[in-house]
Amino acid sequence: MTQSFQQFHLPIARTFSTDKKVKEALIVGDNLIVITFQDSQQIVAVNYTLDALWKREVDLHTRDYIYPTLTVREDAQLYSIADINTVRLFSIEGELLFTFLHEVWHSFLGTGCYFQGNSVLFVAPLSESDWLLLVDTRTFQVLHKYKLDGHQEYNYSFHATPSPDTVFLGLAAGQDDTRLFSIQCSNEQLHVTELTDCNDQIFGAFSPSGKEFATAPHYNEGIKVWSFPLGKLIAEISQEQLFEGRDEYPAENEDSLNYKVLYLNDDTLLAITRFGRLLLIKRTTMTCFGELLLEGCKIVPFNFDDALAIEAGQIEDYEGEVSDVQLLPNNSILVNHSDGGLMLYNLEAVI
């Protein structure tokens, strides 16, 4: 049975744009967002209303399809850059403090970093295996290392959890597979557990309560909700259920889920689709009840032959202008627009 469905029109609250295209917006915490740009060494810090705070020039170089990853510690006193063959730590003023050398990553692979107190976690390819390392950010000594079971197969990303001594590590091997590990850091030791039930799922976000997390599908499955810290499946919605009755954008090719899902609150999930739609899911019933329509973000129909076919209603597909969506603590969402700018939208009308 088709569920009731509501479209929420959200006006732009604030914007951020420069002559550069935004690559990534890192929500650091304490009213701080750090922005990196495509083909630029500049980073810019803004607050949650997108007012500029400071600028820095940092050493961000892409080589052989290895894209450098910037990570800023929550207190904004340290940042790391992980690139093709090094992980480097800097003071926020740009002073180089530490360099860890490793094998050159294969194309499209690499690692992020994760700051936890006075230590930092990252993955490095060493001695015919990838290793998870814990390094003290005061002495720069390697406190512990853990041998992973892959070597030059995965791109690694860290995800903070509600537990201060636990972090998730996501492994992505392109179109082949994805995996998720839970890492406990205590007494300068690492305890690593693979959440095998989450294989071929892409980590999305934790609920504000911290009792569960959601994943998006790597292939054709639906959105799944897992308990935390056990990682057991507790709810899901298939793509067939999600798109039932969704005929607002008729096309020859059907819409499907993209790789992004997040919580707007404990009872509202937001999923991005391949068409660029922002669908809303009621968590208690796992039913789609609406979508966000954002001012300044169009969903554009196209036909691979010509524009006249579109005018005649022969639409093959749609392409949206939303590149990424993140939830901010001030009850708003931060949107990366495909034109390279950032937009802020308030959620009072929705939640």
Give the whole-angstrom CA distance, residue 294 versus residue 15: 13
* pLDDT at position 176: 77
Q: What's the pLDDT band for 107 if we cut at 50, 70, 90?
A: very high
Residues 121-166: pLDDT tens digits?
999 999 889 999 999 999 999 999 999 999 999 999 999 999 999 9
Checking if the pLDDT of 225 tops 70, the result is yes
Tell whether the model's pLDDT for residue 335 goes beyond 80. Answer: yes
DSSP state of 339: T
Beta bridge partners of 48: none
What are the extents of the domains in the chain? 8-257+323-346
Range in 84-98, 173-187, 296-310 with the lowest mean pLDDT: 296-310
Higher pLDDT, 76 or 313: 76
pLDDT value of position 280: 96
pLDDT of 14-52, one tens digit each? 999 999 999 999 999 889 999 999 989 999 999 999 999
Enter the tokens of residue 230: 């056990």
Tokens at 33, concatenated: 């967002």
Model confidence at 310: pLDDT above 80: no
Tell me if residue 152 falls in helix, strand or coil. coil
- Quick: pLDDT tens for 232-262: 999 999 999 999 888 889 888 899 999 899 9
Question: Would you tell me how many other CB atoms lie within 10 Å of the CB of residue 311?
Answer: 11
Return the pLDDT at 347.
95
Q: Are 276 and 320 in contact (CB under 8 A)?
A: yes
DSSP secondary-structure letter at 30?
Answer: S
Helix, coil or strand: residue 334: strand
This prediction has a pTM of 0.93
**Class of CATH domain 8-257+323-346:** mainly beta
